[in-house]
Chain A
Amino acid sequence: MPSTPAAAAANLREGLAIEIKGLSVAYGNQRAVDSIDLEVFCGEVVGFLGPNGAGKTTTMRALLDLLRPDAGTLRVFGEDPRKAGGALRARLGFLPGDLALFPGLSGRQNLDLFANLYGGRSQARDAVLERLGFRRDALDWKLRKYSTGMRQMIGIAVAFQHEPDLLVLDEPTTGLDPLVREAFLQLIRDRASAGRTVLFSSHVLAEVEDCADRVALIDRGRLLAVEDMETFRRRLPRKVILRRANGEVEVIPFQGSPRDLVQALENCGLDDAVDVEVRPAVLNEVFRAIIREGQEDSP
C-alpha cells in the first residue's frame, strides 16, 4: 500500500482509466455515436465538449454499462464494464445530465441511500458540500423543496462522496451559480491532483478551458478531435475588438498563441487604440473551424 498521499496519487496515475475503441450506438435508425475511439489516462481531466445531441451522454452511459453499444469495445481500468460488476462500479462516480434523485427523501437521506449502495459513508461528503457552500440545515429538507442548484449540489456530493477513482460527470454545472461553479471546478482540479481521473461533458467552452488537461470534441456522434488544452486553445477562433480614439471599432479575427495576438495587434497599429477586448470563442464557431480544417486536410 502507498504510504503517502503523493505515492497513492502516483499509483493512480499509471495506465489507462478509459479505453474506447470503435464505439457505435444507434437508437433505431438514428446513429447517436459512430465509431468513437478515445483514451483517457489515469489522473487526467478530460473535457468532453459538444453541442446538444452530439453523443456525449450516450458515450458516458455506455461507459457505465447503462447503455449497451452496438459495436466496439469499452474498458474502464482495464475491465469490461458489462462483465466487471459491482467492484468496478464502486470505483466510479457518476452525475447524470438529467439528474433525478428521490424528492420524497431529504437531501441527507438521498446521500445516505447512495453512500450505503456504495458501501458506507465517508468523510468526503461533508467536505464536498462545505466547499460548494451548501447550507447545512437544508440537508434535512425534503428534496422537493430544493432549488435546481441545490439539487445539483446533492447530485455532485452523490458522485464524490465515496471518493471514486474515476468521475464521469455529464454537464455537471447545470443550474449552478457562478460562485458554486467556480468552487466545483476547483474541486475537479483537486481530485485530479490527488490522482483521480475525471471525464466531464459540457457545452460551455470556458469550463473545459478552466480545468481540463485534454479536450475531446464530439459532434453528431463523431469524435472530431482529442487534443491537449494548449493545442486546443491555439485553434480557438477568437475575435479581438479594437476601439480607436476616433470611435472606429475594428474586429480582428484571431487564432493562435498570445505571441501571435501581440503581433496581430501591432500589425493593426495601436497608437490611437483606446481599448482592446478579446472575445472568448463560441462553441459552434470552434466546431465550424474544426470541421472546415478537416475538410481542407482531406484529399
Chain B
Amino acid sequence: MSMTLFKFLCRRHWLSILLAYLIPVLIGVVIGLLYPTYAAQRKLLEVFKFSTSYFGQEQVDLFSAAGSFTLPFQHPLCLIGHAIVGGIAALGLPAAERGRGALDLLLASPLGRRQLVATLGLFSFLSALALGAIGFGSAFLGAFLSDEVAALPIARYALCALTSIGLCFVLGGLALLVSVWARDRGQATITYGVVVGAFFIVDVAARMWTKGSWLAWYTPFGYHRPAKIVGQPEGIQCGLQAAATTLLLGLALQTLAMFWASRRKSA
C-alpha cells in the first residue's frame, strides 16, 4: 500500500464520493419527515404496486417504521451511489491515466503495479465501509426525525449496512478489474456502466418477477436485500451469508485485478 497514493486518491475524489454519500442521507431525511403521514398515504401508494414489490413489501411491511427506513439502503438512487463510490477511483486509475499517459510516470516511481492496485483496493474498501456506515446513520437519522428510533432493529440494520459494504466492495473490485484491462477512461467507464447496468436490470427483474427471483443470485445487487434482512425470521442468517459472499467476491476480484495488472505486457 502507498499512503501517498491513498492521500492523492482522497484529494482527487472527495467531492464525487461526498455527493454519492449524500444520497442515502437525503433519502433518510425525506422519509423521516414524511413518515408521520405515511399511513394516510398508504392507499395512494398501493396504487403503485410495482414500487412496493420492488422494495420488498412481501418481505417487510414498508409502511412500518422498520420497513420504511430500509430505503436509504435499497433505493435505486442509493444503488447507483454504490456503483459510483465503488467505481470512481478505480476508473480514474489505472485506466484513465493509462489513456492520458500519467500512469507511466507513477509506475516508474517506487510504486509498483501491485502496490497501485492494492492501494486502490484499500481505498475502495474504506469508501464502501463509509457508505455502509452512512446508510446505517441515515436510517437512524430519519427514524430520529420521525421519533421512531425505538422501532428499528439495530442488529438487522447493522447487517443491512454490512451487505451494503459488500455490494459496494464487489462493484469496486469489478471496476478495478475493468480498469486494469481497459486502454483508457472511456473504454473502462462504458464497460463498467454496461456491466453494472445489466446487473441492475437483472436485479430489478428478480425483485419484480416472483418466478424469476433466482436471478438475484447472478447479480451482486441480489445479495443486498434489506427488506428480507429486516422483515424475515431467517433474515439475519441470509444477510450474514450474503455479506460474507460479497466481501469474499470483492476480495477475489481485487486479487484478480492485482494479478492481471502484474501480468500486463504494457503498464
Q: Which residues of A contact B (CB under 8 A)?
A: 61, 64-68, 85-87, 89-90, 92, 94, 96, 98-102, 104, 113-114, 116-119, 158, 168
- Which of B12, B104, B107, B266: most chain A Cβ within 10 A? B104
CA distance A113 to B106 in the complex (A): 10
A18 to chain B, nearest CB (A): 15
Of B2, B97, B104, B115, the contact of A66 (CB 8 Å cutoff):
B104
Chain A residues within 8 Å of B12, by CB: 104
A66 and B266 within 8 A (CB): yes
Smallest Cβ-Cβ distance to B265: which chain A residue: A68
* A92 CB contact (under 8 Å) in B97, B108, B267: B108
Measured CB to CB, the closest approach of chain A to B8, in angstroms, equals 6
**Are the CB atoms of B267 and A100 closer together than 8 Å?**
no
Instruction: Name the one of A86, A92, A117 contacting B106, with C-beta atoms under 8 angstroms.
Output: A117
Q: Per-residue CB proximity of B240-267 to A under 8 Å, as 1/0?
A: 0000000000000000000000001111
Do the beta carbons of B101 and A67 come within 8 Å of each other?
A: no
> Which of chain A's residues have a CB closer than 8 A to the CB of B4?
113, 116-117
Would you list 19 pairs from A and B whose C-beta atoms are within 8 A, ordered by A residue?
A: A61-B267, A66-B266, A66-B267, A67-B265, A68-B265, A68-B266, A86-B111, A90-B109, A92-B108, A96-B101, A96-B108, A100-B97, A113-B8, A116-B4, A117-B2, A117-B5, A117-B109, A117-B111, A158-B105
How far apart are the CA atoms of A116 and B3 in the complex, in Å?
Answer: 9
Is the CB–CB distance between B102 and A100 below 8 Å? Answer: yes
Check if A114 sits within 8 Å of B105, measured CB to CB: yes
Contacts of B110 in A (CB 8 A): 85-87, 89-90, 117-119
Give B158 Cβ to nearest chain A Cβ, in Å.
37
**B100 within 8 A of partner (CB):** yes
Cβ distance B266 to chain A, nearest Cβ, rounded Å = 5
Closest chain A residue to B105 by CB distance?
A: A96
A96 and B104 contact, CB distance less than 8 A: yes
- Range, interface on chain B: 20 to 34
Contact A102 B102 (CB under 8 A): yes
**Contact pick for A67, options B97, B106, B267, CB 8 Å:** B267
A100: which B residues are within 8 A, CB to CB?
A: 97, 100-102, 105
CB distance from A208 to the nearest CB of B (A): 22
Please give, as numbers and ranges, the residues of chain A lying within 8 Å of B267 by CB-CB distance.
61, 65-67
Given known A104-B12, A113-B4, A113-B8, contact A66–B112 (CB-CB < 8 A) = no
Q: What residues on A are CB-neighbors of B5 within 8 Å?
A: 117
**Closest beta carbon of chain A to B196's beta carbon, Å:** 26
Q: Are B104 and A61 in contact (CB under 8 A)?
A: yes
Contacting pair A101 B105 (CB below 8 A): yes
Residues of chain B lying within 8 A (CB to CB) of residue A94: 104-105, 108
Nearest chain-A residue to B109 (Cβ)? A117
Q: Which of A101, A118, A119 contacts B102 (CB 8 A)?
A: A101
- 4 shortest A-B CB distances, which residue pairs? A86-B110, A100-B101, A94-B108, A116-B4
B173 CB to closest chain A CB (Å) equals: 24
B105: chain A residues at CB < 8 Å are: 94, 96, 99-101, 114, 158
Alpha-carbon distance A118/B111, docked complex (angstroms): 8
Query: CA separation between A118 and B266, bound complex, in Å?
Result: 22
Please give, as numbers and ranges, the residues of chain A lying within 8 Å of B104 by CB-CB distance: 61, 64, 66, 94, 96
CA separation between A89 and B115, bound complex, in Å? 13
Name, among B2, B104, B108, the residue most crowded by chain A CB atoms within 10 Å (CB to CB).
B108
On whether A66 and B108 interact (CB within 8 A), knowing A100-B100, A102-B102, A117-B2, the answer reads: yes
A residues in contact with B100, CB < 8 Å: 100
With a cutoff of 8 Å between Cβ atoms, the chain B residues found around residue A158 in the complex are: 105
Complex Cα spacing A116 to B8, Å: 11
- Residues in B with CB closer than 8 Å to A113 are 4, 8
B17 to chain A minimum Cβ distance, whole angstroms, is 15
The distance in angstroms between the C-alpha atoms of A16 and B93, with both chains bound, is 35
Give B73-122 interface residues, CB cut-off 8 Å to A. Answer: 97, 100-102, 104-112, 115
Is A118 a contact of B112 with CB atoms below 8 Å?
no
B263: shortest Cβ distance to chain A, in Å? 9
Bound CA–CA A93/B5 (angstroms)? 18
Chain A residues, Cβ within 8 Å of B264? 68
